[in-house]
Each structure stands twice: as structure tokens, then as C-alpha cells.
Amino acid sequence: MKIHLTSICVDDQAEAHRFYTEILGFVTKHDVPVGEVDRWLTVVSPEESGGTELLLEPSGHPAVKPYRDALRADGIPLAQFAVDDVKAEYERLSGLGVHFTQEPVEMGPVTTAVFDDTCGNLIQIATEPQ
């Protein structure tokens, strides 16, 4: 068994797609209209085109807002992405205007940072121990 797809709820799919591809560097895997407005919109790492897909899910379900608001209020990231160098990625993303709620912090063998994805979520980046 392996994780094939996971989702993250976003307020605006077009804005989320722009942020996740143009800023974070993911690539579009699927972009299929669903109904009149929504899309089945997934992105993947350019390093693993056959890897786990991230579904940019519309946040219209009534449970999304209270759940996401509670996580944000407590500073809890909704997802974590692995990067080779958190400090370098922090500098790159900061230079592109990304707002970080937590600058790089060393936590034993792992370094983490947390940013706002502009789509309603906090995302953590982490360097895996070598």
C-alpha cells in the first residue's frame, strides 16, 4: 500500500494552481473540469512525476473553514513538504514574497519552517536528516 493522492483545501483553485506551480515549483498532473466552476486539479513534484499527487480541492464544504481556522489559530501546518535545504528554500520563497509564520528552526536532526500558502493553509517545509 502507498499514498497515491492527498488533498489540500484551497479558497481559489486558480490562485492555488498559480502559487503551487509558479512559486513552489510543482507541475500540473491533472486539470479536468468538474461541474461549472470546479476542477479536478492535481500537482506533483517535478522530481517524481509518478509520485504522490496533491489535489487542490475547493474549500466549499462547511467543515473546512472551522477546521482550517482552528489549525491556523494554533499555528499548526496542514501539510509538510520535504526540501533539501530549508534555509535555502526559505530564502528563495521569501524573495518571491512568500510570508513565513515560522523562520527556519533546527529541531534536533530536522530543520523546519512554516509559510502561508495564500490559499488558506499553513504549510511546513522540512529537511530530512542525512
* pLDDT (tens place) for every residue of the chain, 130 residues total: 999 999 999 999 999 999 999 999 999 999 999 989 999 999 999 999 999 999 999 999 999 999 999 999 999 999 999 999 999 999 999 999 999 999 999 999 999 999 999 998 999 999 977 6
* Domain housing 38: 5-127
Q: Can you give the pLDDT at residue 128?
A: 79
Q: How far is CA 30 from CA 34, 54, 66, 130, in A?
A: 12, 10, 28, 33
CATH value at residue 100: 3.10.180.10
Site of grid cell 527556519: 104
Domain count of the chain? 1
pTM value? Answer: 0.93
